[in-house]
A = this chain, B = another copy of it.
Amino acid sequence: MFILVNLKAYPCDPIEVATAARDVAEESDVRIAVAPQAAHLSAVAETGVETWAQHVSPNEHGSHTGSTLAEAAADAGATGTLLNHSEKRMKLADIDASLDAAERADLETIVCANNPTQIGAAAALAPDAVAVEPPELIGGDVSVSTADPGIVEDAVDAAAAVDENVDVFCGAGVSTGDDVVAAGDLGATGILLASGVAKADDPKAALEDLVSGL
């Protein structure tokens, strides 16, 4: 199980969360990564935690002011990137080009999508993983396993029908250790979460709870 903590643009201290994630990963032997703002990548990577970008642009080196170049993210210490997050939806052609960019920069990739149909499409682009983010669960307090377990199973089936090598992450509705176990039982090999850790009073305790059932 891989737990990826997305810091979004939250007013949290990225170093505090990164340090907690590094420590819990070491203590539990569970893979945990942190995805901060691009400007915070190098500071987060310096803690030693596995570091991901929240997005990389589809462009190569060149005249692309204001882009998020995959190679620059990698320089700063990122080893993976989210793409097409529900808060950063991308054009189909740009997801494809950003996957190429990520490959050039040696970044792992997770492509997010709304529903099993789009998960199938995302899987056809051959990322390392896809993450299903049912709109009704994003940012809510409802757990994916209790609300609609079928959507994770359907996403797993949709991805497998297109490409058996693409992992499926549960991209919303996870906030406790029980949710993590439930997501794994539904076929997910990873978890995306954000506020449950980034906004926790004690991020380390939140992470310890998340890995407690593994």
Residues of A within 8 A of B (CB): 6, 8-11, 35-43, 53-55, 57, 59-69, 71-73, 75-76, 78, 82, 84-96, 113-115, 117-118, 120-126, 139, 158, 162, 194-195
Tell me whether A62 and B10 are in contact in the complex, defined as CB-CB below 8 angstroms, given that A42-B42, A75-B39, A114-B96 are known contacts: yes
Whether A65 pairs with B8 at a CB distance below 8 angstroms is yes
Copies of this chain, how many? Answer: 4
Q: Inside 8 A of A89's CB, which chain B residues have their CB?
A: 91-94
Kindly state the separation between the CA atoms of A88 and B88 in the bound complex, as whole angstroms.
Answer: 16
Could you pull out 8 A-B pairs where Cβ atoms are within 8 angstroms?
A: A9-B61, A37-B67, A37-B68, A39-B42, A63-B194, A96-B114, A120-B162, A121-B122
Tell me whether A55 and B61 are in contact in the complex, defined as CB-CB below 8 angstroms, given that A37-B72, A117-B96 are known contacts: no
Q: Inside 8 A of A115's CB, which chain B residues have their CB?
A: 96
Q: Which of B62, B113, B121 has a CB less than 8 Å from the CB of A9?
A: B62
The smallest C-beta distance from A8 to any residue of chain B, in angstroms, reads 5
